[in-house]
Amino acid sequence: MENIIYISGHKNPDTDSICSAIAYSELKNKLGFNTVPARLGNVSRETQFALDYFKVDAPKLVENLSENQDLILVDHNERSQSIDNLEALHLLEIIDHHRIADIQTSYPIFFRNEPVGCSSTIIGSMYFEKGITPSKEAAGLMCSAIISDTLLFRSPTTTDRDKEVLKKLAEIADIDPEKYASEMFKAGTSLKGKTVEEIFNSDYKVFNLGDKKVGVSQVTTMDIEGFDEYKKDMLAYMDKKVKDESFNVVLLLLTDIIKEGSLLIATGEDTAIVNKAFNVELKDNSVYVPGILSRKKQVIPPLTSAIEAK
Amino acid sequence: MENIIYISGHKNPDTDSICSAIAYSELKNKLGFNTVPARLGNVSRETQFALDYFKVDAPKLVENLSENQDLILVDHNERSQSIDNLEALHLLEIIDHHRIADIQTSYPIFFRNEPVGCSSTIIGSMYFEKGITPSKEAAGLMCSAIISDTLLFRSPTTTDRDKEVLKKLAEIADIDPEKYASEMFKAGTSLKGKTVEEIFNSDYKVFNLGDKKVGVSQVTTMDIEGFDEYKKDMLAYMDKKVKDESFNVVLLLLTDIIKEGSLLIATGEDTAIVNKAFNVELKDNSVYVPGILSRKKQVIPPLTSAIEAK
């Protein structure tokens, strides 16, 4: 019997690692190899949306493979991100788009690394170079990976190659990239099922600006509307924080990097600072501010100025 | 002005390192880049034959490049084989066919490593993939590299890809690979200009086999005929060695790995051992033995048996 070859992305897998493993496995199998996609961790909500949309099973979850198992890596070439017993395995290929890192072999292998936005851009190219048409499912998953890694071309890592390959694949997958991306990002960043504590504390920092104590939490979500049902509880949680920890202002940013703006939710005695800093008017403790994406660069400096100008 | 990109093979450059740098430079320039081939050491006789045949200048000799110089590596991905100040340079690409080694980058680059017999096989493929026809000169140099690295397909590292690419390139270069290989190997391994001491001592070992003291030198050359002018002086040199160092036999093997055989030159009182070991008859102290390539596996064991059977 022919050897099975595992194809795996990195630990803590993102959509590219999962979808590239599946799509490359299909390509290799069409070329006569006997491969199965694998994953080194849980599937994210975003990835699960893509798998559900195209009705594809998640790859097999593996932790260690048996000694000398044939293996292909996608979307990483960094030992720390790879399967634990990598050194005991038989590495055949690497397809990646990251820095050249620290995996060594004692024999020549196929290694294709390209400075493009996504591993699936390379794998899509390989289909076209070999004149093989991916299935609708594989094409759809590669689209999902490219959209995810490039934030639908908003990431500075995006290249023309990513755009070209997505265009071709989207036709095969029969999707409208803009519409599909919006649905996938919404599903991937949905707040559903989380508690207000979880949402607030996922990326929360305290700042002493002038004589004011300010707490600022930031959550990236492409489902700001989904926040409506949390608003009342979140404000109560933030109010309690203001009182218990003597904050002047507690601020939550819900940032939509696709629409490129943030919904600001503010509580505390000095919320006027927020109005002044961003030249807005909070209404029921919230206001949407277009263009605000970075806490460090676009939120803390104007808050500081507003406090100092007081 | 556009940045110049250097393209360099490894230190102690072989025909692949020189010819791949030149051929890849032509390809990149045809794609709109501004590249120049470079080399990290002297051009071998074999490589010089190829350059002369196709009337191409040797690449520029470099030792260090100025900081942040753009650079592409061909035929190596091993720091110790690369330019000394590699870490200070701006590495753009690697095209190679060796093991994955220890060069790291802090940013994604184009890295194409394939388990084929020669870097020029990959570069030739890249021309064809991009629909670009190499010049006769570049095609000829890539043929030279493939012939050199694969010993015209006699090396176990040879793949079908090497054969396919050589076939296509040989048509463009207008050469007969067999005939060209024979001339190139002959030029590359010519003994011309060397002294008998240099020839004899390049790979010489002493063995005590049973009660006999035997000296065996081996020289790889595809120009055995070129030895004729040395024969008289070499025999005098070997006879002196026999007397001065009390050898029973001193043996020189001139091995042609393309014709797959060795000319044996033997001196000393016990040259009958050589006749017995290889079932041959020395004539004027020499005899050509087909099939003999390895001193370790095909010369020492039969000499030992012949001595012990005495």
pLDDT in tens, chain A (310 residues): 458 999 999 999 999 999 999 999 999 999 999 999 999 999 999 999 999 999 999 999 999 899 999 999 999 999 999 999 999 999 999 999 999 999 999 999 999 999 999 999 999 999 999 999 999 999 999 999 999 999 999 998 999 999 999 999 999 999 999 999 999 999 999 999 999 999 999 899 999 999 999 999 999 999 999 999 999 999 999 999 999 999 999 999 999 988 899 999 999 999 999 999 999 999 999 999 999 999 999 999 999 999 988 6
Chain B residues inside the 8 Å CB shell of A106: 99
Sort out which chain A residues have CB atoms less than 8 A from B107's CB and list them: 99, 115
Question: In whole angstroms, how far apart are CA A298 and each of A205, A253, A268, B47?
Answer: 15, 11, 21, 60
Structural contact between residues B200 and B221, judged by C-beta atoms closer than 8 angstroms = no
pLDDT, one tens digit per residue, over B253-296 is: 999 988 899 999 999 999 999 999 999 999 999 999 999 999 99
Domains recognised in chain A with CATH numbers: 3-187 (3.90.1640.10), 194-306 (3.10.310.20)
B-chain residues near A99 (CB < 8 A): 104-109
Per-residue confidence band for B2, with pLDDT thresholds at 50, 70 and 90: low
Residue B1 has pLDDT above 80, yes or no: no
Per CB-CB distance under 8 Å, the chain A contacts of B112 are 111-113
| Cβ A134 vs Cβ A144: under 8 Å | no
- Phi, psi (degrees; rounded to nearest 5) at A247: -80, 145
Mean pLDDT of all residues in B176-183: 96
Give the model's pLDDT for residue B310.
62
Please enumerate, as own/partner, the contacts of A236-245 that have beta carbons within 8 Å and a separation of 24 or more.
A237/A196, A237/A197, A237/A200, A238/A200, A238/A265, A238/A267, A239/A267, A241/A215, A241/A267, A242/A267, A242/A268, A242/A269, A245/A213, A245/A215
For residues B173, B176, B178 and B181, what is the CA-based torsion angle, rounded to 10 degrees?
-40
B141 near B53, Cβ under 8 Å? no
Q: Residue B47 above 80 pLDDT?
A: yes
User: Residue A16, annotated ligand binder?
Assistant: yes
Amino acid at A97: H
Angstrom distance (rounded) from CA B55 to CA A268: 81
Shortest alpha-carbon distance between residue A39 and chain B (Å): 23
* Residue A105, min C-alpha distance to chain B (Å): 5
Using CB atoms and an 8 Å cut-off, which of residues 112-131 of chain B contact chain A?
Answer: 112-116, 129
Q: Is A107 on the interface with B (CB under 8 A)?
A: yes
Which residue, B281, B290, B302, B220, is CA-closest to B261?
A: B290
Compute the mean pLDDT over every residue in chain B, rounded to the nearest whole number.
95
* pLDDT at res. A310: 62
pLDDT attached to residue A257:
84
Instruction: Note if the pTM is more than 0.80.
Output: yes
Consult the annotation and say whether B76 binds a ligand.
no
User: And the tokens for B31?
Assistant: 């794609």
Q: 3-class SS at A125?
A: helix
Whether A115 sits inside 8 A of B101 (CB atoms) is no
Question: What pLDDT is attached to residue A69?
Answer: 96
pLDDT of residue A134: 98
Q: How far apart are CA A206 and CA A16, in angstroms?
A: 34
B111, B118, B126: best mutation site toward chain A, by most A Cβ within 10 Å?
B111
Please determine, for residue B309, whether its predicted confidence score (pLDDT) is greater than 90.
Answer: no
Q: What backbone torsions phi and psi does residue B247 show, to the nearest 5 degrees?
A: -85, 150
Give percent of chain B above pLDDT 70.
99
Is the Cβ–Cβ distance between A133 and A127 less than 8 Å? yes
Please list the residues that pair with A209 across neighbouring strands: A212
Determine the pLDDT at residue A1: 41
DSSP B234-263: HHHHHHHHHHHHT-SEEEEEEEETTTTEEE
Closest alpha carbon to A97 in A51, A145, A132: A145
How does pLDDT run across B130-175, given as a tens digit for each residue?
999 999 999 999 999 999 999 999 998 999 999 999 999 999 999 9
Q: How many CB pairs under 8 A join A and B?
A: 64
Degrees (nearest 5) of the Cα angle B189, B122, A142? Answer: 165
